[in-house]
Chains A and B, each alone.
Chain A
Amino acid sequence: MTAVLEVEGLRKRFRGTLFRRSVEALKGVDFCVRRGDIFGLLGPNGAGKSTAMYCFLGLLRPTAGSVRLNGERPEIGSALFEKVAYLPEEPHYPLYLTVEEALRYYASLYDTPIPPHRLEAALEEVGMAKWRKMRLTKCSKGMKQKLGIAASLINDPEVLFLDEPTRGLDPVIVKEFRDILLKRNRRGTTVILNSHVLSEVEMICNRVAILNKGEVILDGELEEILRVGSNCYEIRCSPFTDPPPSFTVLQKTETEWKGELPAGEIEEFIHTLTARGGTLFECRFRKRTLEEVFVERVREGEEKTEENAVLGTSAGAPFASGTVDEGEEPAVGGSNEEERG
């Protein structure tokens, strides 16, 4: 598959001023997004996700490194954007326009004429048709976000950049938006999105990268990321004598224990349980969630930084591991591919 976005050694330093220290927002970011991906760029607040996205689009100039978008260096206002769309983190609109005027204005900036029915459809799709005559000054945050989404879909983009797209949206439209993205993706649109809503990312992305303090600390296929590491079983059983130490009891009552067990220990556990006269009520395999991986990786990063600080090395020392290796654990059913259709 061809690469839509190639990022190599991307660095961005915001120069300091008299009153402000310089900030190195990106410290050498590498990754690649292939055609047809739904790529999630994750990371805690201030990790550099938005900065990275600005660099991908040419809105910020990298201090070092290269960005290739569809094989070209992104230049603002260039013809490259005919088939690229971007929804900023905080969309700023000409507030004196109405919803419809704003959408029409953005549509008029493309070379390819966008037929009125497509604008109409975009407004309908995000549920803004009934507010079309409303001035943007009077629109709520969510309404503006919906307009942003509509504006980013009108040119039928091949590559779609979304910076926290579901921020401020109600659950119904979030679900609809997800469906829109998946539908577009099936038709060939590559999606690159920043998000804090990990459950959402888990539902739609096939690849993710986690950015922390300007560095990529994890990058890979979502399925593989979730497969690797500490999957476990949730166990409900009757109390029994001398449970194995790998079984962590989380809740105890007179008649029942609830706990967790690492995936590899299940056979031995059941053996021990039955041998000691216990009864197994329920046993459920629990896949790791993206949230767990995220928290784990980010915490790991924090600890490394603290260690480095204690040792007196620079805070920017490289973290261990980037890309995930092929599974160590047995493959787990229920891939996200099903949800992606």
Chain B
Amino acid sequence: MKKRFLSNVKLQILFLVRNRLLLVLAFFFSVMPLFFIIPFFLFTSANLDFDFVRTLVEVADGLIFLILLIAAAMSLDHHKRQRLLKMVFTRPCSAENYLAANLAALLFVGSLAYLLLFAGGCAFLFWKGVPFPTAFPVVILNKIFSLAIALSWVLLLGTFIHPALVLMAFLFLNEQSFYQLAVVAKGVAQTLAHPWGKLAARTVSAISHAIYVILPSFVPLRRFQETLERTYRWEDGTGAALLYIFAYTLATVIFCHRTASAILRRQEHS
């Protein structure tokens, strides 16, 4: 059981590190934040040093998130779409084990990237003599939780939808885009004079809002997280919020894993 899991994890990690396309992307993505760094070195105030770390974390987070979603989709495409699973499932290796390992490997690599980012951030703050922002670890932990949620959904949807489509949906049809659409449509409704136009804009807004509510969220406590990411300060309630986010993440991961395994078990692998 454990042996199988570990060897599946190893397989997935080998897939990630030996994938040229992913390596090129990773290289490109790790060079990209440098362009954000340069303007910051032109200033030296303590406040800006903290801002620098915050911006770096934000930019890097987006890139880590994106590359891991791409990696998850590619892994599904390589192993499932290209019918490698028939060689796995005709051995005593369950769909649960396989999927859990797949998620664990992606999450492991993602966490490693976030920890690296954290270490880099800490080193920079220490070098500049900026006092350590108390909730910096919480910020990083939150990012890892969000990644876990997103990866779980990709793995679940990818079992029955083409991973490329899942990826597109994640990038363009996510919760955020519907939220923004709802806000924009609402604004448009207010400016329009024509009653039909107003109605149409309101309808669009209502529908997008409904979709926004229905769609799974990678950021369970948006308001809390927005404040946290602005201040990086540990406040009353941060612990409780963190606990809630952890519980939400765990529930999502378990739900997605169970459902995806059940689907994979019922699917045909010829």
Contacts and interface: CB of A to CB of B under 8 A. Distances in A.
Interface residues of B, number: 31
B268 A60 contact: yes
B162 interface: no
A180 interface: no
B230 interface: no
7 contacts: A59-B90, A76-B90, A85-B90, A88-B86, A94-B84, A105-B11, A109-B92
A111 B92 contact: yes
B268 A94 contact: no
Interface string A89-110: 0011110110001001110111
B47 to A, nearest CB: 47
Contacts of A51: 270
Given A92-B84, A96-B19, A97-B14, A109 B91 contact: yes
Among all A-B residue pairs, the 9 with the closest Cβ atoms: A108-B7, A76-B89, A109-B91, A77-B94, A96-B18, A86-B90, A109-B93, A77-B89, A92-B84
B1 to A, nearest CB: 8
A96 B78 CA distance: 10
Contact of B270 (A59, A91, A96): A59
A51 B83 CA distance: 15
Interface string B41-83: 0000000000000000000000000000000000000110011
B4 A96 contact: no
B91 A92 contact: no
Contact of A77 (B84, B95, B268): B95
Contacts of A96: 14-15, 18-19
B3 interface: yes
B11 A81 contact: no
Contacts of A2: none
A82 interface: yes
B128 interface: no
Interface string B5-16: 001001100110
B88 interface: yes
A61 interface: yes
Interface of A: 50-51, 54, 57, 59-61, 75-82, 84-86, 88, 91-94, 96-97, 101, 104-106, 108-111, 113, 151, 155
Interface of B: 3-4, 7, 10-11, 14-15, 18-19, 78-79, 82-84, 86-95, 97-98, 265-266, 268-270
Grouping DSSP codes into helix (H, G, I), strand (E, B) and loop, the B interface class, with mixed when no group exceeds half, is: helix
Contacts of A59: 86, 89-90, 268-270
Contacts of B95: 76-77
Nearest to A59: B269
Contacts of A113: 3
Nearest to B78: A94
Given A60-B268, A79-B92, A94-B11, A108 B86 contact: no
Contact of A76 (B10, B84, B269): B269
A246 to B, nearest CB: 49
A97 B83 CA distance: 16
B89 A101 contact: no
A91 B86 CA distance: 9
A84 B18 contact: no
Contact of B4 (A60, A94, A97, A109): A109
Nearest to A82: B92
Contact of A57 (B79, B82, B90): B90
Nearest to B10: A105
A76 B7 contact: no
Nearest to B20: A96
Nearest to A61: B268
A60 B86 CA distance: 10
Contacts of A92: 82-84, 86-87
A233 B8 CA distance: 60
A148 B258 CA distance: 31
Nearest to A104: B7
Contacts of B89: 59, 76-77
A104 B83 CA distance: 19
B73 to A, nearest CB: 16
B84 A110 contact: no
Nearest to A96: B18
A94 B82 CA distance: 10
Contacts of B10: 105
Given A60-B270, A108-B3, A81 B91 contact: yes
Contacts of A57: 90
A104 B78 CA distance: 19
Given A81-B92, A96-B14, A91 B3 contact: no
Nearest to A83: B92
Nearest to B270: A54
B261 to A, nearest CB: 10
Contacts of A78: 92, 94
A110 B92 contact: yes
A75 B15 CA distance: 27
